[in-house]
Amino acid sequence: MTTHRFARIAPALFVLLWSSGFVGAKFGMPWAPPLHFLVARFAAVLAIMLPAAPFLRVTWPRNQLLIHTALAGLLVQTGYFTCVFMAMHTGLSAGMVALIAGLQPVMVSIFAGLVLRERRNRLQWIGLALGVAGVFMVIQNKLGHGNVTGLGVALAFVALVSISLGTVYQKRFCNGVDVVATSIIQCAVSLLILLPLAALFESGSIHWNGQFIFSLLWVVVVVSIGAIGILLWLLRHGEAGQVSGLFFLVPPTTAVIAWLCFGDELSAFMLAGIALTMLGVYLASPRN
């Protein structure tokens, strides 16, 4: 497949694969504590990609560029996925986590303005307000019910901030770094950080069964290798703001997948909140 042809299908493919990751992770949640799950995930990615690196003729970053790549990984991989998995572990639905993370274009617009000195107009600030309002339309009737609490929502927002900062940082300091090298370095950093944390703070263990193995393979192959690889490729070939705009398509895609797989609620009020959020994110996202 030529680069031109891949560029045409890459955005849609990224949205589909990334959205499915929330649901894929949910399948494995009952069988592993979140940090243990992530340790297995990053270890599996490295087990697949490291042996393949010589055959892919990977070009490794050095010196300052290596440090920047690792720091970007702390935000895009370690911080984001840790908070997402812990948010779902508290009981937050896959669709709701995706909805909050779908505000990423708004956050990237803000951070890109601070870091890259991009100016935002009045319409973009209106979009920010609409996006936040839409999120709370969806989550307000769930707070305090069952296992869905403010902690889960807070973790989802931390994940949002982490990946938004990481997207801008990745574009600013790591542009041009080999995509495979980036994935390997960032997964290795995440594994080194999460392995001792899982051992120290989680008392449970992984229950290896068919459902967990399927979930693990899904988040490893489809998300960590597939979706993140496409995301890094898109950031390398486009602007951070334009790439982040794809995330406004993730919440409705995830909500439909979660409804099909888990029967997650999709009330008219929640659908209205999703629509308002999507409108707000669209208005707030930088466009040429």
Per-residue model confidence as pLDDT tens digits over 189-206: 999 999 999 999 998 889
The secondary structure of 37-101 as a DSSP string is HHHHHHHHHHHHHHHHTTTTTPPPP-HHHHHHHHHHHIIIIIIHHHHHHHHHHTT--HHHHHHHH
Q: 35 and 194 in contact (C-beta within 8 Å)? A: yes
Per-residue model confidence as pLDDT tens digits over 85-131: 999 898 888 778 888 887 887 787 777 666 656 566 788 788 878 88
Round to whole Å and give the CA distance between 158 and 139.
Answer: 16
Per-residue model confidence as pLDDT tens digits over 29-74: 899 999 999 999 999 999 999 999 999 899 999 999 999 999 999 9
Taking 3-state DSSP, the helix, strand and coil percentages for the chain, each rounded to the nearest 5, stand at 80, 0, 20
Full-model pTM: 0.85
Q: What is the pLDDT of residue 95?
A: 75
Q: 21 and 227 in contact (C-beta within 8 Å)? A: yes
| Out of 44-48, 133-137, 206-210, least confident range | 133-137
**Sign of the CA dihedral 158, 14, 275, 94?**
negative
Per-residue model confidence as pLDDT tens digits over 144-191: 555 778 899 999 999 999 999 998 898 889 888 899 999 999 999 999
Round to whole Å and give the CA distance between 11 and 219.
Answer: 19
**Sign of the CA dihedral 19, 23, 24, 29?**
positive
* Statement: residue 246 has pLDDT above 70: yes
53 φ, ψ (degrees, to nearest 5): -55, -45
How would residue 248 be classed by pLDDT, with cut points 50, 70 and 90? confident
How would residue 2 be classed by pLDDT, with cut points 50, 70 and 90? low
